[in-house]
């Protein structure tokens, strides 16, 4: 029984190292191909629409409700200690530093990342990727780079949009429900935020976008086992993207606010 446990543990460690090794290799190839002409502008625009514009409805709804919820939660506590005026500052900092980039990245990973893996996985199963190589077309250049560039551009823009919608949601609750004046809310919001907060949030979003693109494409390229394999790869893509997003968020937060404050 113990032998089987260690055998299973060893297999998982090897699989884990194989995943990160393959992901690192794909990252190097993608960055190299991204700077190498010709540039697939039409593909980048197409992927940007899928990742950015098509994600606006779900991002809008989630960000709005996040603003509602945090304003109500902070409002409940702050009213007990008579500090309602600080609700705007707390919500703005929470959304811009953490919730905006992280929640947006998780939405995009579940929506766009899963779609990328399913699409590339289907191409792998039907040998379309092998056909590209036969036609002297680099699959990384043709399939990965447009998604990598598009997500790297669109996720910071989506994060900015989510930040704005979340703050508007908090504004509505504070002004209409908690009795805070509009001018006070706006003043407290802008007085709490500094350039570093906005830059950190957008930098996180940029990193998250590249993580989603690379993980989803890597899993799509390594699908095995037909349609069932596509389903397993899609699940792994979402799970690994979530884990790496949270790990990167922790590292970047520590880097900007504790190591280099």
pLDDT per residue as tens digits for the range 161-177: 999 999 999 999 999 88
Q: What is the predicted pLDDT for the residue at 82? A: 76
Q: What is the predicted pLDDT for the residue at 138? A: 92
145-176 vs 182-192: helix axis angle to the nearest 10? 140
- Judge whether 240 and 199 are in contact, CB under 8 Å: no
Q: What is the predicted pLDDT for the residue at 210? A: 96
Q: What is the predicted pLDDT for the residue at 1? A: 65
Place of tokens 């037909």: 226
Predicted TM-score (pTM) of this structure: 0.94
Residues of the chain with pLDDT under 50: none
- What does the block give as tokens for 27? 């990252």
Q: What is the predicted pLDDT for the residue at 28? A: 95
223: left (phi over 0), alpha (psi -120 to 50) or beta: beta
Q: What is the predicted pLDDT for the residue at 219? A: 95
**What's the pLDDT tens digit per position in 75-119?**
888 878 877 788 899 999 999 999 999 999 999 999 999 999 999
Q: What is the predicted pLDDT for the residue at 54? A: 94
Q: What is the predicted pLDDT for the residue at 80? A: 80
Q: What is the predicted pLDDT for the residue at 148? A: 96
- Judge whether 108 and 210 are in contact, CB under 8 Å: no
Q: What is the predicted pLDDT for the residue at 257? A: 87
- From the list 207, 250, 251, 216, the residue with the least C-alpha distance to 105 is 207
- Judge whether 85 and 184 are in contact, CB under 8 Å: yes
């Amino acid at each position: 029984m113990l032998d089987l446990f260690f055998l299973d543990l060893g297999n998982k460690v090897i699989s884990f190292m194989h995943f990160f090794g393959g992901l690192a290799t794909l990252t190097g190839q993608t960055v190299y191909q991204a700077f190498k002409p010709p540039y697939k502008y039409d593909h980048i625009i197409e992927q940007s629409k899928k990742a950015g514009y098509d994600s606006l409805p779900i991002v809008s709804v989630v960000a709005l409700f996040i603003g509602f919820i945090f304003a109500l939660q902070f409002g409940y506590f702050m009213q007990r200690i008579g500090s309602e005026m600080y609700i705007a500052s707390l919500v703005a900092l929470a959304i811009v530093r953490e919730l905006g980039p992280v929640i947006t990245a998780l939405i995009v990973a579940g929506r766009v990342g899963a779609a990328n893996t399913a699409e590339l996985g289907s191409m792998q199963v039907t040998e379309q990727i092998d056909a590209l190589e036969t036609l002297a077309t680099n699959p990384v250049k043709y399939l990965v780079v447009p998604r990598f560039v598009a997500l790297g551009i669109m996720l910071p823009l989506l994060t900015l949009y989510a930040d704005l919608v979340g703050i508007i949601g908090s504004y509505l609750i504070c002004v209409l429900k908690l009795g805070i004046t509009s001018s006070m809310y706006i003043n407290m919001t802008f007085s709490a935020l500094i350039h570093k907060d906005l830059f950190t949030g957008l930098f996180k979003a940029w990193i998250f976008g590249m993580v989603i693109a690379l993980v989803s494409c890597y899993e799509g390229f390594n699908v095995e086992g037909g349609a069932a394999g596509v389903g397993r790869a899609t699940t792994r893509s979402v799970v690994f993207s979530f884990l790496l997003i949270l790990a990167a968020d922790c590292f970047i937060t520590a880097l900007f606010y504790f190591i280099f404050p």
